[in-house]
Structure 1
Amino acid sequence: MSIRLIVGLGNPGAEYEQTRHNAGFWFLDNLENSDMRWQKEAKFSALVSKIRINSHDVWLMKPQTFMNRSGLAVGAMARFFKMAPEEILVVHDELDIAPGIAKLKRSGSTGGHNGLKDIASALGTQNFWRLRLGIGHPRSQNLKSPVIDYVLQRPRREDQDRIDDAIGRAIHVIPLLCDGQFDKAMKELHTVEK
């Protein structure tokens, strides 16, 4: 089993482009590949691109629903291409991880992330891969902002630089995930984090 679909979570629209909640979109924007050609696909409510990584065809997706309805897009594509949940990697912002850290995880709780909740509901399981990009929590930065405001704001410059570094390290392990080398990918990504 290997990754066949990489979903970057975010909200569509220019007003959200630079907000923390769009970390999944940032990841896909940084996944440099000469094959990448984004197309709007109405039946999936998403922008999609098909690329090759290590001789594997891999779909990329940016749902064009808002975050809380991401399951519509992911579920539709998974059913259409008969993808198992274990073949899906969802890249998303993670409040409980500091900026600059990226962690791979398979299944488990959605941690209150509404995009993940909707995807789990659409797939009928939480048994899919996640790439969690740390954005930090407002409390960890002594901010009084409610979480909903925090995720819809731009990160501070130093936090953005850390997030960008984590994205670069995470992109480096994508070929391993596409080859089905999940343990090796996790070890490589998480060892760098120490």
Structure 2
Amino acid sequence: MFDKIFSFFSCQPIQSIDRIILGIGNPGKKYAGTRHNLGFAVVDSLAKDWNISFNQEKFKSLIAFYQFENKNVLLVKPLTYVNLSGEAAKKMLDYFHLDNQSLLIVVDDISLPVGKNRLRLKGSSGGHNGLKSIIKHLDSECFTRLKMGIGKNKDQDLISYVLSRFSEEEVPIVNNAIMSAKEMCQHWLCQE
């Protein structure tokens, strides 16, 4: 198995992955910057801070490897689109023989106001199709999720709303929320 991991990462050999941070979102420029892609925005920003890039494609995902506080971390952007995010999550956990506690999902949440983040160790999908898919594939609601508020718009249907971009007034609030989310991710990585 170690040979597979070595060839999979074109860098120094590693013996394992300790933690996975998976941002939920939709691939492609069409969806960049939308409310539904807040998970992608967080892992993209972490990758930028860590000076790494999503230059590998594996497990139906774009991935990037980093060593943080002596932990081997995989940043993940599934290519499955939001509704099938569980396929990627399950493949990675199985491949690296990890339990659900090694996984952090970063996801948008309409029940929280824009800019509000909430870390949960378990829970229902809250109606989010990406979380529904992960719960289904892992056969469990017990995994950590970092929910990021995108607010709710009663004047717009749900699909149009989550695929819309943040307003000019919301952008600085969202940028602060991304900064806070990165700190929360790093704090989670430091936990045993």
TM-score bracket for the superposition, by shorter chain length: 0.7 to 0.9
Deviation at 1:161, TM superposition (A): 1.6
TM-score for both structures, normalised by structure 2: 0.86
1:26 counterpart SS class: helix
Report the counterpart of residue 171 of structure 1 in structure 2.
182
In structure 2, list runs of 5 or more residues that go unmatched.
1-17
Listed as ranges, the matches of 1:1-194 within 5 Å are 4-31=19-46, 32-34=49-51, 36-42=52-58, 44-139=59-154, 144-180=155-191
In structure 1, list runs of 5 or more residues that go unmatched.
182-194
CA RMSD of aligned residues (A): 1.3
The answer as to whether partners of 1:94 and 1:132 remain within 8 angstroms in 2 is yes
Deviation at 1:37, TM superposition (A): 2.7
Matched to 1:40, the amino acid is Q
- Identity across the alignment (%): 35
Matched to 2:44, the amino acid is D
Deviation at 1:160, TM superposition (A): 2.2
Q: What per-residue deviation string (whole Å, max 9, x for no partner) do you get for residues 56-89 of structure 1?
A: 1111100001110111111111100011111100
Distance 2:69 2:168 in 1: 34
Between the two proteins, the alignment pairs up a number of residues equal to 173
TM-score for both structures, normalised by structure 1: 0.85
